[in-house]
Amino acid sequence: MKNRIPATCKTSHDNVQDLGRRRFLGSAAAAGFVLSASGLLLPSNARAADEKPQRGGHLKLGLDGGQTTDILDPGTYSGSTMFVVGFTWGDRLVTTDPQSGEALPSLAESWSSSADAKVWTFKLRQDVRFHDGSPLAMNDVVQTLRRHSDKDSKSAALGLLEDIERIEEQNGDLVITLKNGNADLPLLLTDYHLQIQQNGGMDDPENVIGTGPYKLESFEPGVRITFTRNEDDWNEDRGFVDSVEILVINDNTARIAALSSGKVHFINSLDPKTMKLLSRAPNVETLSTPGKGFYSFLMHGDTAPFDNNDLRMALKLAVDRQAMLDNILGGYGTLGNDYPVNDAYALSPTGIPQREYDPEKAAFHYKKSGHEGPISLRTSNAAFSGAVDAAVLFQSTAKEAGITLDIKREPDDGYWSNVWNKKPFCASYWGGRPTQDIRYTTTQLSTSTWNDTRYKNPDFDRKLLEARAETDQEKRAALYQEMAMMVRDNSGLILPVFNNYLNAQAKNVKGWVDDLGNDLSNGQIASRLWLAA
Amino acid sequence: MNDHIPVFPLARLHGRYPLTTRIVGRLLLSLVLLVASSLLIFGGIEALPGDFATTYLGQAATPQAVANIRAELGLDAPAYARYLDWVAGLLHGDFGHSWASGQDIGAQLGSRLSNSLLLAGAAAIIAVPLSIGLGLIAVLYRDRLIDRLINLFSLAAVSLPEFFVAYLLILWLVVKNPVAAFPATVYASMGLGAKLVTIALPVATLVLVVIAHMMRMTRAAIINVMDSAYMETAALKGLSRWRAILRHATPNALAPIINVVALNLAYLIVGVVVVEVVFVYPGMGQYMVDAVTVRDLPVVQACGLVFAAIYILLNMTADILSVLANPRLRHPR
């Protein structure tokens, strides 16, 4: 399945912090990528720590995206519910800073790489125990990574780990050898499928006796999942409640009713249309977190009439982005600029002018393209919530520029298999990816199977591979800047808005962290939330 | 019957034991129906666009990977072989394994079905006596204020879509006045009492949704009978109206009432997926819908067949009961 777990981030153009982040990366690179496990870097310290967390209580989460067909094997996780479940029982080797997206120690306490970023060495924490009391050993880690990266693996993380050549233990350390240099390897290991299991889940992929903040107590897929606190947690700065109960509530109205009547403490996936209404309810706090996910219209650059850059440019200029942000997202989002990266990514481009709605310029390019007649745009609310309205809005703003869009509404069921990546012009959605490298590799690399705009540019491919192995962060950022411009001005991607992730919680729930890693506080709501008495 | 006219043995049997042959015939017909619906379900699912391998692998599905999965699941065999395989499994009580989760379908189905039956049962226990009672009262006070009120109320209830009734109940009884349990998620470790408290709202919704149909059918069937000569006789010989309705009209109006009750019972079990979703109730409908979205076809097939079986069973029971309720068939001359 296409990974449609929402992904995430920050809106504020906090330049000071950006600078700080770059400088930090630069010096880390100079030091041969050594990251120490000084407690100062633990993500919990990034929390707005104005209140001391209280322990105890029973936390109830009402989440969507759970199905009867869910299983506990972390390699299969998709959908919000299992995404959260994984972080509740498990730990990854590496985690990320909620605000900067930087790789931080988790089960690995430090790491370093060779100069070409091909050979990586990770040191493992020594004080970690599984829920059943057995100590975490290097074998568990090695086997976990092997299971997910095996070429016959059915793990959803396989795509991320394809470049791994060898995973082995050397002198008590984990050594990962890559086929090609990749300066982002630690970030790849933060993927939510890579929760460390006993013997890597080789004996039983559904064994979720992990090292996380809670022990699984009961699992009824698509219905209810319960956890109790792991009293021996190696990380004392998380897991504040005694027990956690996840209720799968797929119906939007039911989720809101459950929260506003106090039956659950937290709900996810709010509709922008109801967000404002809900924020007026007493005892409820709405949470809007900028994300990496975006709404888009995709043109196949190799199919007429979209093989003409003037036509592509005309359509890009014919979108009123601000109107789309206001009307489709209710303002809960940020403007897009036709490249799939925003400030939530490390080394994101800066200073690229915002593309505006300009019907005259659009008309100019449209004339220049020589195209005549209506253009079919396929849409469905399966693409994103409000995609049909967004297409109609697009149609009316394009009309101002003399471009006729013919909107074809497709069935929701099967949209991702029959329309997306098949039809030359359609509405689409993408969740976030951990790094710019993965973002572009997934959808802009010529050879990618998910190249859903058929963007084929050898120059771009070369830059992408160059940036991947580049350990000098300044040079890397410059490459990413150029790549963003290329995609913005040449590809078939129309990206009007990045959407925020919309959640809500009861007023007595504390500890929420806006985490740019992904939705639901990067899946770690159960770790982070606590109940005020 | 004239014994000297040559008749087929079956017809002769029918002549001698009209009740038994009718019932046996009905049972056989049900069996045929069940086989036919299993064919229909299987064929319908074969015709569904999209297959599990491509849905499961996602858009990165390479032809080789798709072929591997299809071979692993036995999808490369011809359709008739897979059908026979499936039916053979069913005859051994084996529903197969879910493609998506690898779990035994029978076990999941068991717990989901018992949840559905609990919900339907609780709703039926309230709705059936209530609607028949209201129907009788409506006949008794025909065209008077009570009759009109009952009609108005039941028509209003049936005119509102079930999800709307559900949301109204949630608004009044959960959000505004927190008296009822919500969501109605039941799970294995709950006691029966706790379960019944939890499902109060979905039960109330279902009762409101089905009551009008049964009530109006009861009223119409009895009124139909009320016009017949023997009811007039009953009135003339001095029977009270209430007594005449209960003793003479109702037994003769039973067949249509039984039928409409059976239809509604079947609906309560197989048609309540919307109510399940709104109240977050882990019933069969939700299970089937989840399976459809991921093209987990063995689960869809199993659910479809169970639904068909329930429908057939209830209708068969209704037919048999109406045969039994018919004195002319019960006491042949």
Of A2, A222, A224, the CB nearest to B58: A2
Q: Does the pLDDT value for residue A512 go beyond 90?
A: yes
Q: Is the pLDDT of residue A10 over 60?
A: no
Among A68, A416, A441, which would you mutate to test the B interface (most chain B Cβ atoms within 10 Å of its Cβ)? A68
Domain range summary for chain B, segments of one domain joined by +: 105-330
Residues of chain B positioned with their CB less than 8 A from the CB of A262: 178
The type of residue at B276 is E
List, for residues A349-395, the tens digit of each pLDDT value: 999 999 999 999 999 999 999 999 999 999 998 888 889 999 999 99
Write the secondary structure of A373-394 as one string of H (helix), E (strand) and C (coil). Answer: CCEEEEECCCCCCCHHHHHHHH
3-state secondary structure A208-232: CCCCCCEEEEEEECCCEEEEEECCC
Question: Would you state the structure tokens that stand for residue B144, as one six-digit string?
Answer: 């008077």
Most A-contacting residue of B52, B113, B280 (CB-CB within 10 A), to test interface: B280
Low-confidence residues in chain B, pLDDT < 70: 1-10, 13-14, 49-50, 55-62, 332-333
Q: Which three-class secondary structure string do you get for chain B?
A: CCCCCCCCHHHHHHHHCHHHHHHHHHHHHHHHHHHHHHHHHHHHHHHCCCCHHHHHHHHHCCHHHHHHHHHHCCCCCCHHHHHHHHHHHHHCCCCCECCCCCCEHHHHHHHHHHHHHHHHHHHHHHHHHHHHHHHHHHHHCCCCHHHHHHHHHHHHHHHCCHHHHHHHHHHHHHHHCCCCCCCCCCCCCCCHHHHHHHCHHHHHHHHHHHHHHHHHHHHHHHHHHHCCHHHHHHHHCCCCHHHHHHHHHHHHHHHHHHHHHHHHHHHHHHCCHHHHHHHCCCCHHHHHHHHHHCCCHHHHHHHHHHHHHHHHHHHHHHHHHHHHHCHHHHCCC
Backbone angles phi, psi at B53, to 5 degrees: -60, -45
The model's pLDDT over A288-334, given as tens digits with 9 standing for 90+, comes to 999 899 999 999 999 989 999 999 999 999 999 999 999 999 999 99
Distance of alpha carbon B277 from alpha carbon B279, whole angstroms: 6
Please check the confidence at residue A260 and state whether its pLDDT lies above 70.
Answer: yes
- Neighboring chain A residues of B280 at a CB cutoff of 8 Å: 247-251, 254, 258
Q: Which of A247, A257, A416 sits opposite B174 (nearest CB)?
A: A257
Q: Both tokens of residue A271? A: 């509709």
**What does the pLDDT read at residue B333?**
58
Residue B79 buriedness (CB in 10 A; 0-12 / 13-18 / 19+) = exposed
- Whether the pLDDT of residue A67 is over 50: the answer is yes
- Give the three-class secondary structure for A102: coil
pLDDT tens-digit series, residues A194-211: 999 999 999 999 999 999
Q: A83-96 b/e with 16+ CB inside 10 Å = b?
A: bbbbbbbbbbbbbb
Contact A417 B293 (CB under 8 A): no
Please judge whether A251 and B277 are an interchain contact, meaning their C-beta atoms are less than 8 angstroms apart: yes
Chain B partners within 8 Å of A62 (Cβ): 183
For the entire predicted model, the pTM comes to 0.83
Touching B: A residues 205-244, CB under 8 Å = 218, 220-224
Query: Closest to A250 (Cβ–Cβ): which among B277, B294, B299?
Result: B277
Average pLDDT value over all residues in chain A: 87
Instruction: Please indicate whether, in this complex, the C-beta atoms of A218 and B182 are within 8 angstroms of each other.
Output: no
For residue B218, the distance in angstroms to the closest alpha carbon of chain A comes to 35
What backbone phi and psi angles, to 5 degrees, belong to A105?
A: -65, 145
Nearest CA in chain A to B173: A261
A481 token code pair? 């800047």
What token pair was written down for A412?
A: 């929701």
User: What is the residue type of A367?
Assistant: K
Which of A69, A73, A225 to mutate to probe the B interface, most B CBs <10 Å? A69
E-only strand ranges, A64-105: 94-96, 103-105
Give pLDDT, residue A70: 87
A248 vs B contacts (CB less than 8 Å): 280
Q: What is the pLDDT of residue A45?
A: 39
CB contact under 8 A, A68 and B287: yes
Q: Is the pLDDT of residue A189 over 90?
A: yes
The average pLDDT across A239-243 equals: 95
Q: First and final CA of chain A: distance in angstroms?
A: 42
How many angstroms from the chain centroid is the CA of residue A329?
A: 19
CA angle B301, B303, B309 (to 5 degrees): 100
Distance CA A383, CA A428 (A): 5
What proportion of chain A, given as a percentage, has pLDDT over 90?
67
**Res A50: pLDDT:** 60
pLDDT at A5: 43
- The pLDDT of residue B70: 78
Question: What residues of A are in contact with residue B188 (Cβ under 8 Å)?
Answer: 220
How many angstroms separate the Cα of B162 from the Cα of each of A456, B166, B173, B260, B277? 51, 6, 16, 19, 11
Report yes or no for ipTM above 0.90.
Answer: no
A2·B291 Cβ contact <8 A: no
Q: Nearest CA of chain A to the CA of B33: how many Å?
A: 29
CA distance A493 to chain B (A): 18
From A222-236, A411-425, B1-15, the region with the lowest mean pLDDT? B1-15
- Rounded distance between C-alpha atoms, residue A25 and residue A472, angstroms: 9
Per-residue pLDDT at A234 exceeds 50: yes
| Closest-CA residue of chain B to A282 | B175
How confident is residue A41, by pLDDT bands cut at 50, 70 and 90? very low
Structure confidence at residue B181 (pLDDT): 85
CB-closest option in A159, A258, A418 to B60:
A159
What CATH number does the domain located at B105-330 have?
Answer: 1.10.3720.10
As a whole-number percent, the residues of chain A with pLDDT over 70 amount to 91
Counting residues of chain B whose pLDDT is more than 70, the rounded percentage is: 92
pLDDT at A24: 33
A1 touches chain B (CB under 8 A): yes
Interface test with A, best of B66, B72, B101 (most A CBs within 10 A): B101
Q: Are A82 and A70 in contact (CB under 8 A)?
A: yes
Closest Cβ opposite residue B280 in set A218, A251, A417 = A251
What is the per-residue pLDDT for A39? 35
CA nearest B287 in A: which residue? A68
Q: Which residues from chain A sit within 8 angstroms of residue B167, using beta carbons? A: 253, 257
